[in-house]
A and B are shown apart, each in its own frame.
Chain A
């Protein structure tokens, strides 16, 4: 158990809908990272927040947005969902702003039908 929690574990929704994925980092970790894992794209970094501020951006679509709250939990919002958004979405945390030794949550499996 990494100490990072993600909810929900599974999500099934229809095209065009909007969903929110939630992540609670390990106690004391200030950085949260979001990743998407799909069969065709592999593991892709989406976005990083550090202590409430956006720190780095990866291959995140404009339909997706994220935020980190004062209690350091983070939410990833996915809107106007398409079939191709079906994937595993991982959150990771670390106690630094650097990109190493991240602790990954169990993931949210999103299925868009």
Chain B
């Protein structure tokens, strides 16, 4: 079963707008990561945030983590057509050493 649920399931925005995706998980975690997957292809690691961190930036990406709410958000600023993909959060935990993926958000950027 999936550890994380992502919200929304699908998101369509105009190029240049910001996109926000949310991830909720069920148990305590060690790290939370975000991955991107272009249609039918492999996943690309975007960013990792540790459980003791609250916010992290990488280029146009901003990730926040709220461990009290067991949730994370991924913000992509100034979106581009090339950002069209599915985005997954993935968590790992001390007591369960495996990576558990969320259900994913399908993001479509409209040129």
A positions within 8 Å CB-CB of B: 2, 4, 33, 42-45, 48, 55-56, 58, 88, 90, 92, 98-107, 109
The proximity string for B residues 26-50 relative to A, scoring 1 for CB distances below 8 Å and 0 otherwise, is 0000010101000011111100100
**Which residues of B pack against A, CB within 8 Å?**
2, 31, 33, 35, 40-45, 48, 88, 92, 97-104
Q: How distant is the Cα of A90 from the Cα of B88 in the complex, in angstroms?
A: 15
A104 CB to nearest chain B CB (Å): 4
Q: Which residues of the partner chain A approach B42 to less than 8 Å between Cβ atoms? A: 2, 4, 90, 92, 104-107
Chain A neighbourhood of B44, CB < 8 A:
2, 104
Which chain B residue lies CB-closest to A106? B42
Name the prevailing secondary structure of the B interface residues.
strand
* Alpha-carbon distance between A43 and B36 when the two chains are bound, in angstroms: 13
| Residue among A33, A98, A106 making CB contact with B41, cutoff 8 Å | A106
**Which 8 A-B pairs have CB atoms at the shortest separation, nearest pair first?**
A104-B42, A43-B101, A99-B92, A104-B43, A99-B99, A45-B98, A106-B42, A58-B98
Given the complex of chains A and B, what is the CA–CA distance between A26 and B49 in angstroms?
Answer: 23
Chain B hits for A102, CB < 8 A: 45, 99
CA of A44 to CA of B88 in the docked complex: distance in angstroms?
12
**Which of B33, B44, B99: most chain A Cβ within 10 A?**
B99
A56 with B98, Cβ < 8 A, contacts A100-B92, A101-B48, A105-B42 known: yes
Q: Determine which residue in B43, B48, B104 has the highest number of CB atoms from chain A within 10 A of its CB, and name it.
A: B43
B88 proximity list for chain A (CB < 8 A): 43
A selection of 20 A-B contacts at a CB cut-off of 8 Å is A4-B42, A42-B103, A43-B88, A55-B97, A58-B98, A88-B40, A92-B42, A98-B92, A99-B92, A100-B33, A100-B48, A100-B92, A101-B33, A101-B45, A103-B45, A104-B42, A105-B42, A106-B41, A107-B40, A107-B42
